[in-house]
Structure 1
């Protein structure tokens, strides 16, 4: 039977990683892979994570399964972190998943179960895995305008016009903060306009929030999500702990289904547990237990928040350094958008040919759509990148 299988497209980021590894140039710069790196190029284990793991190691006396939806303490802690009482806890069903990717996949499965003919509106561009999973599940994708290659900001008029074509039963997929891959985000007034569209169309929002704390702060980054859930009857939220807790390999995520009342909550909770059973049975627990241990211990939580702020400010500093260096070299403020973007990523808004030129001539590795990981930079590589951008004529 295996002879009928067809080769699948190669993962572009994994291929880029291998090319970078094989490049002998000492000045090469990796801006492709989406992980946080400190000034030394290391993705460190956060202090609070190490302390929580030690605490768990000392106290844990069993590795028995958790429930199908995971440890309730993890769900409670994450719901509080993301929603902070924006809606009653009794209306929020939740299930732990293998990473934020698992939460997104389970959300798409839930949509397919609830409304087989649902269309999912997706920003252009979006995280490639959104599109890959939707295509695999044969769910209709409707792109909506988002990134403006000229201004390197949000094409908000185009976005609103496209979202207004949604109907009740459709799903609008939104990035809660730190838009991936562009780094361009909506402001508070624009979020209010999106909420108006959700209310007028009856479409259901699905929020992918993978970078809470990486943009403007823990509370600020969750503000739009909280306002949306308090303004509409139903909402799906896929949350990831990979970035803000730095536990990438632990695969720690949570899917939340917010309903209008406790009766709907019970059915939603049963459905989330059922979906987990069909896909992987019991979700992984170690990362979830690390997160709940941190969030339920005042000292560990304070240390985690302090280190997360250090990470956030380090990325903001790199953004400003790059924008300033490009302004110095170009004599223009046309790269000012880099300081305005938020999160790990920015999109230069240039062509694949220019991106390839950056790689071949300067050893600068970024995704072909010109998405670059700001956290891959340091004070030494900022001038190298800036000069390369000017040299290739971006």
Structure 2
């Protein structure tokens, strides 16, 4: 049997990570992997996480299973963090998942269970794993225009035109904030227009919220999700704790399903529990318990929010520094968009051959479509990157 298996295509980002590790050069910069790093190149354990884990070690008395949906207190805490009362709690079903990826997968599974004919509409571009999962599941998918390569801004007219062709019952996959891979977000006015199109087409939004707190702040980054969830009868929300709590390896996520009426929630919850049972039975709990501990304790939450704000402001400063350095070297505002984008990523608009020269000639690693992780920089490597970009473009 096993001899019939064929090689699967390598994950481009994981392959890039290995190339970076194998590079013997002392001066090299990893801008590929989507993980937050501090100025020392370390993904730190947040102070509040360390303290919450210490408390768990001292007080936890069992490692018995949680329920199929995970700890209800985790769901309540996350729903409050993300929606802050925008939607009545009795309309929301929720399950804990292995990270945001698990939340996306279970969201797609729920769609397939409810409406096998539904098409998933996704932004062009989107997080590559969205497409990989949908392809593996054999679900119909269609892109809508989102990013204008020439301006590095949202192609909103194109987006609205494409969404105007969505069929009734189709799913429109949206990024809640800090769009991955472009860093270009919708404005509040644009979000309202998207809502009106969704209502007109009788489509259902699914929001991937992976970076709350990394853009403009916890509440500001939830504004799009709250606006859409509050305006629509139905909505799916896949949330990740990997970035804003720094618990990447704990695989901590949540899928929410908002029903039109509270009377539907019990059935929806039962179906979501069923999906968890079929895929991995009980979801992981340690990260969820850590997050719950932080969100329910005023002192821990205040410390977490303060450290998260330091992370956010640090990335904004790196954006401003890089945009300014490139403006100085090119004597143009061509890269001004870097300072306007939000989150860990920006897409620089460099052709593949320039990206390749950055790697081979300068030891700078970014994804082939020129998506770069801002958090892979520090104030010393920003000038190095800017100079390399200019040189690589001239070569």
> After TM superposition, is the score higher than 0.5?
yes
For the residue of structure 1 that corresponds to 2:43, the secondary structure is: coil
Tell me which residue corresponds to 2:374.
Answer: 374
Distance 2:70 2:328 in 1: 52
After superposition, where does 1:166-205 map in structure 2 within 5 Å? 166-205=166-205
Task: Spell out, residue by residue over 1:169-223, the C-alpha distance to the aligned partner (whole angstroms, 9 max, x if none).
Answer: 1000000000000001011011011001011000000000000000000000000
For the residue of structure 1 that corresponds to 2:120, the secondary structure is: strand
Tell me which residue corresponds to 1:21.
Answer: 21
Distance 1:49 1:204 in 2: 35
Distance 1:153 1:63 in 2: 48
Tell me which residue corresponds to 1:108.
Answer: 108
After superposition, where does 1:67-106 map in structure 2 within 5 Å? 67-106=67-106
For the residue of structure 1 that corresponds to 2:231, the secondary structure is: coil
Task: Spell out, residue by residue over 1:242-288, the C-alpha distance to the aligned partner (whole angstroms, 9 max, x if none).
Answer: 00000000000000000111111111100110000000000000000
Task: Spell out, residue by residue over 1:272-315, the C-alpha distance to the aligned partner (whole angstroms, 9 max, x if none).
Answer: 10000000000000000000000000000000000000000000
Measured after TM superposition, the shift of residue 372 of structure 1 is 0.4
Tell me which residue corresponds to 1:125.
Answer: 125
Measured after TM superposition, the shift of residue 357 of structure 1 is 1.1
Tell me which residue corresponds to 1:273.
Answer: 273
Distance 2:119 2:211 in 1: 25
After superposition, where does 1:2-81 map in structure 2 within 5 Å? 2-81=2-81
Tell me which residue corresponds to 2:347.
Answer: 347
For the residue of structure 1 that corresponds to 2:94, the secondary structure is: strand
Measured after TM superposition, the shift of residue 359 of structure 1 is 0.5
Tell me which residue corresponds to 2:159.
Answer: 159
Distance 2:24 2:354 in 1: 21
Tell me which residue corresponds to 1:149.
Answer: 149
Distance 1:262 1:190 in 2: 29
Distance 2:59 2:158 in 1: 54
For the residue of structure 2 that corresponds to 1:214, the secondary structure is: coil
Distance 1:133 1:258 in 2: 23
Which segments of 5 or more consecutive residues in structure 2 lack a partner in the other structure?
none
Number of paired residues?
394
Measured after TM superposition, the shift of residue 224 of structure 1 is 0.7
Q: 1:166–1:201: 8 Å Cα contact kept in structure 2?
A: yes
Which segments of 5 or more consecutive residues in structure 1 lack a partner in the other structure?
none
Compute the RMSD of aligned alpha carbons: 0.7
Tell me which residue corresponds to 2:319.
Answer: 319
Moved more, 368-377 or 261-270: 261-270
Moved more, 231-240 or 3-12: 3-12
Distance 1:180 1:381 in 2: 23
Tell me which residue corresponds to 1:303.
Answer: 303
TM-score, normalised via structure 1 length: 0.99
Off by >4 Å, runs of 4+ in structure 1:
none
Distance 2:388 2:265 in 1: 53
Measured after TM superposition, the shift of residue 354 of structure 1 is 1.2
Q: 1:355–1:370: 8 Å Cα contact kept in structure 2?
A: yes
Distance 1:263 1:139 in 2: 29
Tell me which residue corresponds to 1:222.
Answer: 222
Distance 1:12 1:253 in 2: 24
Measured after TM superposition, the shift of residue 25 of structure 1 is 1.5
Measured after TM superposition, the shift of residue 393 of structure 1 is 1.7
